């Protein structure tokens, strides 16, 4: 820099730090001004030549960097000015940058983004609303799950009816395995699902004891002791309510049914939900009436014989007189309204009370 | 999933695919490559094969035997030879990745603001078939202004004149967008051609493109010197009269004369752009002036000529040759915030 020697005498009393090296202690503005004055030019002439406004050149010379336009423009002005004065523009621009480094950082580019005008609520609101929706749906689901009538399953055929189930024909000797099991069958009947069996519905093995070889009469006469051990607790398990001994009328639930018995005066004698298999032994009294929420879920027996059902599954029957005669006749229950829909496929098969031999093989 | 895996293996690149030079900026590493956009292709047994790319190929330009052709795949800022451009980009991608295979970087390529959709698509597709995973385009004046450090996102007008090899882009930018842009297909190449034509016309001497470029760089000036002939330079070429190689001395004044036409085309473009600038932006530009970028900005006295033609302060950006690459690179670094200046043709 040939200029430094010229400006050194001026910059000795310069206001910038005297601690720096003598060649560097002059600011860019001072160097430019010194060179301009050495050449005897006015700042106005330079402004006219460079088309840079006089104020800006003044700002460069006096070091008022904040008055200069930001970014690359100020450096560009310094470069143009230095070139015009035939100084080392690259060096001066470098020094100018170090001088202004505190002021001028890398121009931050932040693009104007449109103001968010969406009417969507905040994420917190959305989240809480979602949570509430999930909770309420879950609650509703749980609630309805509780109230929903469970799918009706075909209940076990009562033991009293087991005999009436047509016993399977003796299987044609298809295989040796079956014929060889014939001997055992009498002693330990095994629940073999028989393909020829034409039962109305699949029956649990506890109720139906298939004995491929034994005739039906033999089955009926089968002593309880001979029954499979596994069937025993199943038959004894369900509780019975009411009288300790079976009276004339026994109400047995084939599916969960709310049952209430009232006497003639309207006093509630018995009220409870009978679970499937549970039974109620009605006292032998006049004037008892039955309220139930599931007319089809009850098997009513009079003297051990099944009477016609008092209604379909899920039908509410009120004030059905527990009169043995009317029950047997099937006129105890008021006629139920016609069904709006096709009969449920899960309905309990209505077993027509055929004059079958009463066979109380296993007490209830 | 697979492409993301490949993305981890490769360094994202910003490419200033210029007519004269291609600069490659790699994310986190800065400008790593600056080579001429020249590809030398050899035809071996009827099959074309890339012989050299970049500096090596430039030396071959105009000096090739029959089976080798040195091609500049870009003309006027856009792809003129699709396949060769693809080979070149492929070469640069491989070079940046140290010949590792499985490189599929994200690439930003800049395109002239005046390029058509077809030309942009050609650039995008050649970058994609060269192995880029995703290709974004950016308009050159925007990249140049960002690279020069202009406050392009502020509500104030900035004017940038990017004089490249093939095109000159004049643009007024404000609020992160281009308010007005004008692209004229005049640049360094046209200056070289003008020099060749002038010497042939006046001295009956034919010089090559490379020689013309060297003359322009050494004694090129936008206006004749105030007095005398200015700097002198020896040039060599072939005499058109008797067909023998010849050497002669040419002056700065003569070259300035030959460059008068391309320079006036640039001045014209700047004037037209100023005419189309809204008054508020024009007021900003009066204060801050015009910034010159690109290799053409290094032409002697061009700022002086433009200053007097426009009456505005004209300054040359720092390192004008790499402004566009730096600006494109900055977009790559700050992809999230600068996403809206990038264009994708899909």
Q: What confidence tier does B2 reach under pLDDT thresholds 50, 70, 90?
A: low
Q: What confidence tier does B266 reach under pLDDT thresholds 50, 70, 90?
A: very high
Q: What confidence tier does A317 reach under pLDDT thresholds 50, 70, 90?
A: confident
Do residue B307 and residue A51 have CB atoms under 8 angstroms apart?
Answer: yes
pLDDT(A134) > 60: yes
DSSP-derived 3-state class of residue B199: helix
pLDDT(A204) > 60: no
DSSP-derived 3-state class of residue A306: strand
Nearest CA-CA distance, residue A119 and chain B, Å: 24
DSSP-derived 3-state class of residue B219: helix
Nearest CA-CA distance, residue A29 and chain B, Å: 17
CB of B305 within 8 Å of a chain A CB? The answer is no
Query: Which whole number is the average pLDDT over B214-229?
Result: 88
Q: Are A310 and A320 in contact (CB under 8 A)?
A: yes
Tokens 């399977």 -> residue: A168
pLDDT(A203) > 90: no
Spatial separation of the C-alpha atoms in residues A290 and A322, rounded to whole Å: 7
Spatial separation of the C-alpha atoms in residues B144 and A338, rounded to whole Å: 87
Nearest chain B alpha carbon to A74 = B288
Selecting from A71, A75, A111 the residue whose C-beta is nearest the C-beta of B340 gives A111
Spatial separation of the C-alpha atoms in residues B170 and B190, rounded to whole Å: 17
Per-window interface: B 233-292 vs A, CB < 8 A: 287-289, 291
Selecting from A51, A72, A111 the residue whose C-beta is nearest the C-beta of B312 gives A51
Q: Model's pTM, two decimal places?
A: 0.61
pLDDT of residue B1: 57
CB of A106 within 8 Å of a chain B CB? The answer is yes
Do residue A106 and residue B307 have CB atoms under 8 angstroms apart?
Answer: no
Average pLDDT of chain B is 87
Rounded to 5°, the CA angle B151-B157-B163 comes to 80
Q: How many residues comprise chain B?
A: 346
Q: What confidence tier does A231 reach under pLDDT thresholds 50, 70, 90?
A: very low
With a CB cutoff of 8 Å and minimum separation 6, the contacts of A278 are A238, A239, A240, A241, A252, A253
Tokens, residue A32:
């430019």
CB of B318 within 8 Å of a chain A CB? The answer is yes
The answer to whether ipTM exceeds 0.90 is no
Tokens, residue B198:
């002038």
Query: Which whole number is the average pLDDT over B216-226?
Result: 89
pLDDT of residue A232: 44
Strand partners, A280: A241, A251
Of B112, B118, B57, B54, the residue nearest B82 (C-alpha): B118
Rounded to 5°, the CA angle B23-B28-B30 comes to 30
Spatial separation of the C-alpha atoms in residues B137 and B111, rounded to whole Å: 7
pLDDT of residue B205: 92
Q: Of the ranges A44-58, A142-156, A224-238, B225-239, which one carries the lowest mean pLDDT score?
A: A224-238
- A-chain residues near B289 (CB < 8 A): 51-52, 73, 76-77
Model pLDDT for residues B147-159, shown as the tens digit of each residue? 888 888 888 889 9
Q: Max CA-CA distance within chain A?
A: 142
CB of A43 within 8 Å of a chain B CB? The answer is no
CB of B146 within 8 Å of a chain A CB? The answer is yes
Of B190, B124, B153, B169, the residue nearest B320 (C-alpha): B169
Most confidently modeled range among A271-275, B79-83, B234-238: B234-238
CB of A50 within 8 Å of a chain B CB? The answer is yes
Burial A174-213 (b: 16+ CB within 10 A, else e): eeeebeebeeebeeebeebeeeebebeeebebbbbbbbbb
| Interface probe with B: pick from A71, A81, A100, most Cβ of B within 10 Å | A71
pLDDT(A5) > 60: no
Nearest chain A alpha carbon to B300 = A83
């Amino acid at each position: 820099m040939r200029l430094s020697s010229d400006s050194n005498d001026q910059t000795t009393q310069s206001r910038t730090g005297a601690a720096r090296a003598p060649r560097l202690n002059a600011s860019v503005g001072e160097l430019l001004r010194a060179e301009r004055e050495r050449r005897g030019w006015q700042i106005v002439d330079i402004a006219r030549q460079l088309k840079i406004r006089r104020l800006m050149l003044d700002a460069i010379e006096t070091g008022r960097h904040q008055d200069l336009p930001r970014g690359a423009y100020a450096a560009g002005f310094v470069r143009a000015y230095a070139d015009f004065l035939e100084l080392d523009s690259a060096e001066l621009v470098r020094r100018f940058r170090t001088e202004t480094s505190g002021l001028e950082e890398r121009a931050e580019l932040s693009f104007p983004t449109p103001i968010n005008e969406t009417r969507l609520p905040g994420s917190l609101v959305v989240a809480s609303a979602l949570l509430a929706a999930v909770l309420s749906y879950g609650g509703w689901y749980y609630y309805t799950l509780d109230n929903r009538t469970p799918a009706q399953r075909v209940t076990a055929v009562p033991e009293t009816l087991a005999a009436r189930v047509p016993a399977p024909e003796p299987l044609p000797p298809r295989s040796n395995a079956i014929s060889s099991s014939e001997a055992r069958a009498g002693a330990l009947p095994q629940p073999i699902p028989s393909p020829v069996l034409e039962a109305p519905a699949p029956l649990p093995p506890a109720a139906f004891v298939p004995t491929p070889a034994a005739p039906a009469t033999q089955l009926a006469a089968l002593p309880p002791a001979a029954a499979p051990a596994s069937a025993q607790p199943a038959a004894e398990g369900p509780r019975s309510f009411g009288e300790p001994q079976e009276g004339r009328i026994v109400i047995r639930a084939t599916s969960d049914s709310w049952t209430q018995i009232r006497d003639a005066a309207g006093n509630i004698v018995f009220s409870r939900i009978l679970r499937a298999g549970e039974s109620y032994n009605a006292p032998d009294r006049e004037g008892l009436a039955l309220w139930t929420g599931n007319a089809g879920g009850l098997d009513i027996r009079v003297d051990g014989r099944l009477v016609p059902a008092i209604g379909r599954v899920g039908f509410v029957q009120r004030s059905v007189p527990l009169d043995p005669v009317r029950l047997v006749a099937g006129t105890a229950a008021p006629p139920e309204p016609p069904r709006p829909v096709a009969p449920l496929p899960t309905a309990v098969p209505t077993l027509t009370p055929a004059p079958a031999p009463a066979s109380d093989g296993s007490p209830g | 999933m697979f492409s993301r895996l490949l993305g981890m293996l490769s360094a994202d690149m910003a490419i200033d695919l210029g007519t004269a030079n291609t600069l490659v900026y790699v994310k986190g590493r800065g400008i790593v490559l600056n080579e001429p956009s020249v590809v030398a292709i050899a035809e071996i047994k009827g099959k074309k094969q890339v012989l050299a790319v970049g500096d090596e190929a430039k030396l071959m330009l105009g000096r090739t035997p029959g089976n080798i052709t040195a091609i500049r795949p870009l003309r006027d800022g856009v792809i003129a030879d699709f396949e060769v451009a693809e080979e070149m980009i492929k070469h640069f991608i491989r070079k940046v990745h140290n010949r590792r295979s499985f490189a599929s970087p994200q690439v930003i390529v800049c395109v002239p603001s005046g390029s058509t959709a077809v030309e942009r698509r050609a650039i995008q597709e050649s970058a994609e078939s060269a192995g880029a995973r995703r290709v974004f385009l950016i308009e050159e004046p925007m990249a140049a202004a960002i690279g020069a450090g202009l406050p392009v996102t502020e509500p104030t007008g900035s004017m940038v004149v990017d004089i490249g090899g093939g095109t000159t882009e004049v643009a007024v930018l404000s609020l992160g967008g281009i308010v007005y842009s004008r692209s004229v297909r005049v640049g360094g190449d046209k200056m070289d051609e003008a020099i060749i034509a002038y010497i042939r016309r006046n001295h009956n001497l034919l010089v090559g493109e490379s020689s013309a470029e060297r003359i322009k760089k050494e004694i090129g000036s936008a206006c004749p010197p105030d007095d005398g002939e200015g700097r002198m330079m020896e040039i060599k070429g072939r005499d058109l009269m008797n067909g023998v190689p010849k050497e002669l001395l040419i002056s700065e004044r003569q070259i300035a004369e030959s460059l008068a036409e391309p320079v006036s085309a640039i001045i014209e473009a700047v004037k037209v752009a100023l005419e189309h600038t809204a008054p508020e932006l024009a007021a900003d530009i009066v204060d801050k002036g015009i910034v010159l970028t690109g290799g053409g900005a290094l032409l002697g006295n061009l700022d002086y000529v433009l200053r007097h033609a426009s009456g505005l302060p004209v300054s040359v950006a720092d390192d004008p040759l790499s402004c566009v690459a730096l600006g494109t690179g900055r977009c790559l670094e700050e992809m999230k915030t600068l996403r809206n200046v990038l264009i994708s043709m899909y």
